[in-house]
Structure 1
Amino acid sequence: MTSSPTADLTAAGVSIWLDDLSRERINSGAFKHLIEERNVVGVTTNPSIFAAALKKGESYASQIGALAQAGASVGQAVFDITTHDVAQACDIFAEAAKRTNGADGRVSIEVDPGLSRDTAGTVAEAKRLHAKVQRTNVLIKIPATREGLPAISTTLAGGISVNVTLIFSLERYRDVVDAFMLGLEQAKENGHDLSQIHSVASFFVSRLDTEIDALLDAVGTDEAKALKGQAGVANACLAYRIFQEQFATERWQALEAAGAHAQRPLWASTGVKDPNLPDTLYVAGLVAPHVVNTMPEKTLEAVADHGVVRFDTITGSYEQSEKTLNGLAAVGISYDEVVQQLETEGLDKFVASWAELLADVEAALTHAAPERQTPCPVSL
């Protein structure tokens, strides 16, 4: 055993990324503690995180004032504020990126969620974000919608590293891996150095339990109640089996021989929502080599305080994981319907958070320069 649970995770092959970013964190030097004491080697963001960060306000006052004086639109202001934070975080994690040959030290920024059903718009926004951040360790987050899949391939084909987000189903995860490999094949044809392209596939965990456990309670039988709190981990474990299978194919081996890096599974939504479940469930239960676990700080601190890490809690669990998902069908719960609903709701939540972010920035711009004409909120 190593010196702490987070060090044990690192030793087991799990990269710890923080699911949070704010200018306050950047300016305070708080990341230094997380890097040195909590083994954090990356950061993920989403519209909800930026909306929460902007509500604090003080750290953004100077930039918002400058943007207001320059007459920036709300959409441009949000774009400049978020990309500034991500670029600064990329600099903080540059050493980790160098040490891991680009696998870690990554900071993710998401395309406008309003574009999630617009393939061409997503690609254009991914390129715009990448060009603005101007850091080799940035990841552009693209949702794994049907329209997002070709956008993922096209973005990778342009040599841009991608974090594929909002994955709930095993079928969709297979599609994501296919889109990833297609993108690398096209990138190779386009003359890009595959060794410089990285990707993760963000598989959402706790939201599945939240939705399914409510359905199990509604069923109310002993058989149904016995399945509570198990679907999220089971689903992720079976996703890891797909990862092992797909990255052992001849198709992948040809890309790997050309210098490509495998797209690592990333466990997202790892904060436990049900107080009756262990608060480290989606960390301790999902330990295996070559994965990323992105945690909110509350979960990270719980792991550091009392997490018990065992090496590889995934690969021996496939039979039980299949039994769990089959058990859902046996009590009348449709896995396909649940994961589709979660994708739709996830996108709706991000769109709502984006609208909230635009509204907050609009109010801040108006306050900073009340004499100027207030622009209408626009989508990025």
Structure 2
Amino acid sequence: MTQVAKLAEIGTSVWLDDLSRDRLKTGNLREMIETTGIVGVTTNPAIFAGAMTSGTAYDEQIATLKERGAAVDEAVYEMAIDDVRAACDEFAEIYRATDGKDGRVSIEVDPRLFADRDATLAQARQLFERVGRDNVMIKIPATPESLPAVADALAEGISVNVTLIFSVARYQEVMAAFIDGITRAHEAGLDVSKIHSVASFFVSRVDSEIDKRLDAIGTDEALALKGKAGVANAHLAYAAYEKTFAAAELPAGANVQRPLWASTSVKSPEYPATMYVAELAGPNTVNTMPEPTLRAVLDSEDITADTLSGKEAAAVELFAQLMAVGIDAEDVFAVLEREGVEKFISSWNDLLTSMEGQLA
């Protein structure tokens, strides 16, 4: 049994955090589905920026778009939608076998719309319709302005991946938006068993920001806490998930919104490559990871049991220790959310600039 199969047995679905035309055209994605056990794919603006600005896989389509006089935004989305549609087809069998739980492929709304509820919802509808596959999942950021659009999209029957979640407080709002949306979908007469959602909780970036602050404090007590906050924060999120959905009165047949661990590649060479996988394995979760992390997981032997359940007390104590040495967790999460949005916008703008040059 592979480590990915062990994760599945524990309850964690493994998705690949990457997609490109090269993976599709060469059969690499199909090969990975068959040989590694991945059961879904996530994308983001940075992933598409990397894919579309390197190699020659998109040259033929870019030439066609150029001849047609396509606007740069339309060109980028047309290429991304084609990739996502093709990936959805690759995962169609898994989607059917798991009743829609897995076999999912995510595509994100324009990150520049993060503060505009109406525009976010309009694009979520458009992406859902244009991809035209039941197993597509539309990514919407968990900013205060976009959360109402999350509920609105779910209420219309659109499966949503809520992304860029850093704090448990924001996660509580995400779950509330999900419950609101799925309840409204049921009231509208939709089949809620067909609607799925994940909440993408970012992990490694928490350690990156807090480790930097612990280094600046520099005491032995502070340095001893490095590399522990990201996992502890995820443990708190999982405890919140268990409590929320144990108490929630969801419509009959509705699925719970699964926690998805994102940003799971370690950013420090001091930490094991599988740290954000082995320490975040548990029932009804997803872990999306770039290929190097996936390969490290397949080569490891450290995934043996549920490492999520029953961790709340230890995580609460860890954050108490962080506060005692001078870490302001609320400020950390505010910085990470702001920077997360800014990084995706920057990647998107870089992609548009590059594509504008190719279409000119």
TM score, norm. by length of structure 2: 0.99
Match of 1:238 in 2: 236
Shift in Å at residue 251 of structure 1?
2.0
Q: Cα deviations across residues 61-109 of structure 1 (Å, max 9, x unaligned)?
A: 1111111111101011011011110000000000110010000000000
Shift in Å at residue 164 of structure 1?
0.1
The aligned length equals 360
Q: Is the 8 A contact 1:164 1:201 kept in 2?
A: yes
Identify which of 9, 17, 20 aligns with 1:19. 17
Match of 1:148 in 2: 146
Percent identity among equivalent residues? Answer: 53
User: Where in structure 2 are there 5+ consecutive unaligned residues?
Assistant: none
Match of 1:261 in 2: 255
1:304 is the counterpart of 2:303: no
SS at match of 2:57: helix
Match of 2:326 in 1: 332
1:32 is the counterpart of 2:30: yes
Match of 2:81 in 1: 83
Displaced runs of 4 or more, over 6 A: none
Q: Residue type of the partner of 1:244?
A: E
SS at match of 1:136: coil
Match of 2:54 in 1: 56
SS at match of 2:249: helix
Q: Is the 8 A contact 1:284 1:307 kept in 2?
A: no
Output the CA distance in 1 between the equivalents of 2:52 and 2:308.
38
Shift in Å at residue 249 of structure 1?
1.2
Shift in Å at residue 250 of structure 1?
4.4
SS at match of 1:191: coil
Q: Residue type of the partner of 1:76?
A: E
Match of 1:222 in 2: 220
1:343 is the counterpart of 2:341: no
SS at match of 1:141: strand
- Worse-superposed segment, 277-286 or 311-320: 311-320
Q: Is the 8 A contact 1:10 1:39 kept in 2?
A: no
Shift in Å at residue 307 of structure 1?
4.1
Shift in Å at residue 314 of structure 1?
1.3
Match of 1:372 in 2: none
Match of 1:274 in 2: 268
Output the CA distance in 1 between the equivalents of 2:248 and 2:43.
34
Q: Cα deviations across residues 184-216 of structure 1 (Å, max 9, x unaligned)?
A: 111112221101100000000000000000100
Match of 1:294 in 2: 288
- Worse-superposed segment, 308-317 or 167-176: 308-317
Identify which of 178, 181, 186 aligns with 1:183. 181
SS at match of 1:341: helix
Output the CA distance in 1 between the equivalents of 2:83 and 2:261.
23
Distance 1:250 1:180, change over 3 A: closer
Q: Residue type of the partner of 2:311?
A: S
1:101 is the counterpart of 2:99: yes
SS at match of 1:259: coil
Q: Cα deviations across residues 140-177 of structure 1 (Å, max 9, x unaligned)?
A: 00000001110100010111000000000000000000
